[in-house]
Amino acid sequence: MRILFLGDIVGRTGREAVTEVVPNLRRDLRLDLVVVNGENASHGFGLSLAIARDLFAAGVDVVTLGNHAWDRKDLVGQIDAEPRIIRPANYPPGTPGQGSVVVELVDGRKALVINVMGRQFMEALDDPFRAVTDIMARHRLGVTVHAVVVDIHAEASSEKWAMGHVLDGRASLVVGTHTHTPTADHRILPAGTAYQTDAGMCGDYDSVIGMGKDAAIARFLRRMPGERLQPAEGVATVAGMMVETDDATGLARRMAPLRIGGLLAPTMPDF
Amino acid sequence: MRILFLGDIVGRTGREAVTEVVPNLRRDLRLDLVVVNGENASHGFGLSLAIARDLFAAGVDVVTLGNHAWDRKDLVGQIDAEPRIIRPANYPPGTPGQGSVVVELVDGRKALVINVMGRQFMEALDDPFRAVTDIMARHRLGVTVHAVVVDIHAEASSEKWAMGHVLDGRASLVVGTHTHTPTADHRILPAGTAYQTDAGMCGDYDSVIGMGKDAAIARFLRRMPGERLQPAEGVATVAGMMVETDDATGLARRMAPLRIGGLLAPTMPDF
Amino acid sequence: MRILFLGDIVGRTGREAVTEVVPNLRRDLRLDLVVVNGENASHGFGLSLAIARDLFAAGVDVVTLGNHAWDRKDLVGQIDAEPRIIRPANYPPGTPGQGSVVVELVDGRKALVINVMGRQFMEALDDPFRAVTDIMARHRLGVTVHAVVVDIHAEASSEKWAMGHVLDGRASLVVGTHTHTPTADHRILPAGTAYQTDAGMCGDYDSVIGMGKDAAIARFLRRMPGERLQPAEGVATVAGMMVETDDATGLARRMAPLRIGGLLAPTMPDF
Amino acid sequence: MRILFLGDIVGRTGREAVTEVVPNLRRDLRLDLVVVNGENASHGFGLSLAIARDLFAAGVDVVTLGNHAWDRKDLVGQIDAEPRIIRPANYPPGTPGQGSVVVELVDGRKALVINVMGRQFMEALDDPFRAVTDIMARHRLGVTVHAVVVDIHAEASSEKWAMGHVLDGRASLVVGTHTHTPTADHRILPAGTAYQTDAGMCGDYDSVIGMGKDAAIARFLRRMPGERLQPAEGVATVAGMMVETDDATGLARRMAPLRIGGLLAPTMPDF
Ligand SMILES: [Fe+2]
Ligand SMILES: [Fe+2]
Ligand SMILES: [Fe+2]
Ligand SMILES: [Fe+2]
Ligand SMILES: [Fe+2]
Ligand SMILES: [Fe+2]
Ligand SMILES: [Fe+2]
Ligand SMILES: [Fe+2]
């Protein structure tokens, strides 16, 4: 299976870049599954259903979330009707929405996508390791599902690396989100799981993690409420990675980062 | 000036890799200045003077530190005698050592190296932005010093991006350390400062940020004291970046990541 | 000097209780100086100038603040015109307002009041210990000022205890605020400084630290945006303590907690 | 049922004070149940089995713990053999020991004691509210057990207040520990549960939360490893509270703080 994962979409420039490139990428890279993190798609804070639908229309299969999941409060009442939007699985029981989804490809193959959130330097949630393990216990990679993609939305690199190793051999791809900074440590772990600590953001990098520089810098220099944070509006870089798996095992055969447009060094998978 | 910066050296495997490659890199890349972060060089925790001297002997000019600065308590009494070891500048007044150093190259050019620590999700230190600004106010890039390198040792990507922008046009290189994960966002900012959110670690990536996987994972799965954390001992990747500056301005002309050996995708500057 | 300090005033019920009892207490307890923390006086979040004036009209001499200092953004532009409202002294340079004030009593005696904020589990501010020490270096207790009152607004009990000991013998009263829970550890420290870890709140204790129970509890049970936090509106307890100092030394002679009304066990100074 | 709860015992002076007064208090106050928090009993860090046995010998029925539960690593292997030592119930599954215990009094009445830890500003544990609720679902206050005592070991006052309200009417006593500072907000909540935000510490208050002042203060003033923290060794105050419940309902009839010896204002129940 050929899988594309894109990191946190930030604001209009990020959305527009993603909806523009995904149709081409689906075709040119012969993608089977496209997963994007959308927690900052709505003006930097949360995800509206309308934006999610634009993403689906552009060829996205699943949208994951994170600590900004509920910034758009309307999503709380809408998420249960749209299973392709998933929120971190380790929210407490009773939280609207689901933490995972099984999507069926047009050819009948199935992929399990899981979203989970780290706890180091973040909110007090349920154990992300048990949450993922509980979900995976209901599926068998290479048997009931052909691929498993895990978005670990977390601050601490150590928690993400640990998640990668814990799932090594049991997931196709474990990828981090949340820092809005793509990491260069993409690799296939010893037991066959593709891993990257952070996918990076789809947004304008001439910013502070996607938000306008001046307002964001002011918050570090002064400790007072200042100008509202607004997404930066320059040209976005689309950032993520592509993985090709072996359907018989669900494990990764090849992996490569992908960065298109904007200010970062461009790179494209060569497979 | 041709500058190499290498991220947190972790344990023996990281040290050995660095002391092995630096002499060759100095020659092959015609390096003028080599700066490395050594906060984890001594068995993962702190830096001994003997190890610092091995690094200097291998061609390192300045060793920076971070939150592990004082893990080797003997360094507290030794750092004042070795100005090429610098600790975060925003420790409170009275802290041993210095937060910056001006090194003179063999040809007489001068470089200012600054180490500073972020505060988001970290210890309560003095303001890193003011600390850097205070130091820089005593120097003029392109006039009294030909290059300025700033190691911002920090957890939060937002704080590092903000530091990059605040110093854009006033430093040659602003590079983050601490997450032990190299980022792929290396670029020259609009006003000429080379920037990368994290240099990554010089250590064994088959690990949890350089430490043995099992013990580190156990700390996330169970909330009890377990096996001691020990550096992983597999083959290290040397991770960092190279910058070439214009001596007339001190600003960056070219920048490229560098990764040698171990498990990460290798890359070398082509200039 | 006879000093009354009251802890964080929360919302309307807290304000009304304070403005009702302070005139009587000033007379009955022959108070010379009344200091209150007002960071939650405006509907639980921040302090409006109008409310501050109501407090002054009722006999309050100085209003201190805390992490909610700027919740009412209008105060940012107004605080410089009202020196009797002080904000934590360890905000960075350039922050509007002052972190201390010297008030002159009707009989000519002077009292220095300082507000400072802890950093443990709180915002990244400047060092509170140096901030207080810097202010105190400009005054001499028992010589240029007859009393010194320090409001240490902090989360961690350890940081507050440490502040008490650091200032022991140099301040008349060191009192904590912020937890909204009065502590029973009021005492005069060995060198003569009255101390209490937290003054408690002036508000309705049938609440979660002054805010309506249901909405506040929901935030612990579910990790989603819920109902807005609103101050509880039941009968308030006025909570604080009284200190009598020796004008010749500025040190405490007697100290007693004070709690009036509402749900807590009542207590009044007997001196 | 007549219940005594004492807060965190710190070091030798705290232990000796507790073992000295508990036998007298058991007799004079006709106590049926004595619960103490012992997380700092062993030289400030953790609890040894030998010390726990001294406490039991002195008339303590149950010892609770907290974030220092495993500071004495030997307890990890011993706790399962001593059910009267309980650790926070919301450690992950597989953690040695239990988070609650039912003790049978000499007259056959039963009391359920629960220990749970907050998450605000603390470690990432399981949800404390669900942990308590799950335990309580297996018992009925006034039917299967005559009293329920909950020690909520937590930093944030808001989390403790919330726990009190959540359990109001379902527990006999909800009492906080961890700040080492007794609060003066003891009261019986509307539905009949006795509540106090923090029991305070049994230790020397001429200290920083029980530890020697100089070393503890140095950690705030300087950000370097310093002298080791050692328990202060002056005369201890025994701090806690007494509750009398109605056996028919298990709810609180009377409640009063208790403080004996040392530097705090003494107080004893008058019932
Ligand atoms: Fe996020
Ligand atoms: Fe994000
Ligand atoms: Fe670090
Ligand atoms: Fe490090
Ligand atoms: Fe407050
Ligand atoms: Fe506060
Ligand atoms: Fe404790
Ligand atoms: Fe504790």
Tell me the per-residue pLDDT of B80-105, one tens digit each, with 9 for 90 and over. Answer: 999 999 999 999 999 999 999 999 99
Separation of alpha carbons C130 and C140, rounded Å? 17
Contact residues, chain B, for A209 at CB < 8 Å: 157-158, 161
Output DSSP code: residue B243.
E
Residue B43 has pLDDT above 90, yes or no: yes
Q: Which other chains touch chain A, taking contact as 3+ CB pairs less than 8 Å apart? A: B, C, D
Give D197 Cα–ligand 3 centroid separation in angstroms.
36
Whether C161 sits inside 8 A of D200 (CB atoms) is no
Show the domain range for B200: 1-258
| Per-residue model confidence (pLDDT) at position B226 | 82
Please name the residues in contact with D190: beta carbons below 8 A apart, sequence gap of 6 or more. C206, D168
Based on its alpha-carbon atoms, the radius of gyration of chain B, rounded to whole angstroms, reads 17
| Per-residue model confidence (pLDDT) at position D259 | 98
Report helix, strand or coil for A129.
helix
Which pLDDT band, with edges at 50, 70 and 90, does A189 fall under?
very high
- Residue A120 included in any domain: yes
HEC states along A34-101?
A: EEEECCECCCCCCCCHHHHHHHHHCCCCEEECCCCCCCCCHHHHHHHHCCCECCCCCCCCCCCCCCEE
Q: Which residues of C are catalytic?
A: 68
Amino acid at A129: F
- Residue B271 included in any domain: no
Whether C162 sits inside 8 A of D220 (CB atoms) is yes
Report helix, strand or coil for A265.
coil
- Nearest ligand for residue B44 CA: 4
Please name the residues in contact with A5: beta carbons below 8 A apart, sequence gap of 6 or more. A34, A35, A36, A149, A151, A173, A175, A199, A240, A241, A242, A243
Residue B209 has its nearest CB partner, among A157, A205, A259, at A157
Q: What are the φ/ψ torsions at residue A230 (nearest 5 degrees)?
A: -130, 145
- Residue B182 included in any domain: yes
- Residue C265 included in any domain: no
- Nearest residue in chain B measured CA to CA from C91: B127
Amino acid at C60: V
Is D67 annotated as ligand-binding?
Answer: yes
Contact residues, chain B, for D91 at CB < 8 Å: 223-224
Q: Which of D30, D43, D23 is nearest to D15 (CA)?
A: D43
Mutate to test the interface with A, among C79, C127, C223 (most CBs of A within 10 A): C223
Number of structural domains chain D divides into = 1
* A-B Cβ pairs (cutoff 8 Å, strict): 109
Structure tokens at C155: 């989360």
Residue B223 has its nearest CB partner, among D71, D125, D221, at D125
What would the mean pLDDT of B133-142 be, rounded to a whole number?
96
Encode burial over D96-109: b for 16+ CB neighbours within 10 A, e otherwise: bbbbbbebeeeeee
Structure tokens at B60: 């390192």
Separation of alpha carbons A131 and C195, rounded Å? 46
- Residue C128 included in any domain: yes
Residue A173 has pLDDT above 90, yes or no: yes
| Per-residue model confidence (pLDDT) at position C227 | 85
Looking at B41-85, list the stretches that DSSP marks H as alpha helix, in order from N- to C-terminal side.
Answer: 49-57, 74-78
- Nearest ligand for residue C67 CA: 6
Residue B227 has pLDDT above 90, yes or no: no
Contact residues, chain D, for C206 at CB < 8 Å: 190
Whether C120 sits inside 8 A of B124 (CB atoms) is yes
With beta carbons less than 8 A apart as the criterion, state whether D190 and D168 touch. Answer: yes
Is D153 annotated as ligand-binding?
Answer: yes
| Per-residue model confidence (pLDDT) at position D152 | 98
Separation of alpha carbons C181 and D177, rounded Å? 13
Q: Which residues of A are catalytic?
A: 68
Give B208 Cα–ligand 3 centroid separation in angstroms.
13
Is A153 annotated as ligand-binding?
Answer: yes
Give D216 Cα–ligand 4 centroid separation in angstroms.
26
Please name the residues in contact with A40: beta carbons below 8 A apart, sequence gap of 6 or more. A8, A9, A10, A11, A14, A46, A68, A201, A203, A210, A231
Match 């051999």 to its residue by tokens: A169
- What ipTM does the predicted assembly reach? 0.97
What would the mean pLDDT of A91-99 be, rounded to a whole number?
97
Residue A19 has pLDDT above 90, yes or no: yes
| Per-residue model confidence (pLDDT) at position B166 | 98
CA distances for C170 relative to B210, C7, C117, C194, angstroms: 48, 22, 18, 11
Residue D119 has its nearest CB partner, among A120, A124, A130, at A124
pTM: 0.97
Separation of alpha carbons C227 and D150, rounded Å? 28
Q: Which of A258, A269, A271 is nearest to A7 (CA)?
A: A258
- Residue A265 included in any domain: no
What would the mean pLDDT of B102-117 be, rounded to a whole number?
97
Mean pLDDT by 10 residues, chain C (271 residues): 98 98 98 98 98 98 98 96 98 97 97 98 97 97 96 98 98 98 98 98 98 96 89 98 97 98 98 97
Match 């600054």 to its residue by tokens: B114
Separation of alpha carbons C230 and D268, rounded Å? 37
Residue C157 has its nearest CB partner, among D179, D217, D267, at D179
Q: ∠ at Cα D201 (D197, D204), nearest 5°?
A: 150
- Nearest residue in chain D measured CA to CA from A129: D92
Amino acid at D188: I
Separation of alpha carbons A55 and A15, rounded Å? 8
With beta carbons less than 8 A apart as the criterion, state whether A70 and A92 touch. Answer: no
Q: Which other chains touch chain B, taking contact as 3+ CB pairs less than 8 Å apart? A: A, C, D
Domain at A109, CATH number: 3.60.21.10
Output DSSP code: residue B265.
P
| Per-residue model confidence (pLDDT) at position D132 | 98
Whether D187 sits inside 8 A of C162 (CB atoms) is no
Separation of alpha carbons A136 and B51, rounded Å? 45
Q: Which residues of chain D have pLDDT under 50?
A: none
Which pLDDT band, with edges at 50, 70 and 90, does B235 fall under?
very high
CA distances for D143 relative to A161, A207, D250, angstroms: 49, 62, 9
* Residues of B at the A interface, defined by Cβ within 8 angstroms: 121, 129, 155-159, 161-162, 165-166, 179-187, 190, 197-198, 200, 205-209, 213, 216-217, 220-221, 257, 259, 263-265, 267
Amino acid at A169: G
- Residue C271 included in any domain: no
Residue A67 has pLDDT above 90, yes or no: yes
CA distances for B194 relative to A180, A189, A201, B176, angstroms: 19, 31, 20, 11
| Per-residue model confidence (pLDDT) at position D225 | 82
| Per-residue model confidence (pLDDT) at position A227 | 85
- Residue B263 included in any domain: no
- Nearest residue in chain A measured CA to CA from C94: A222
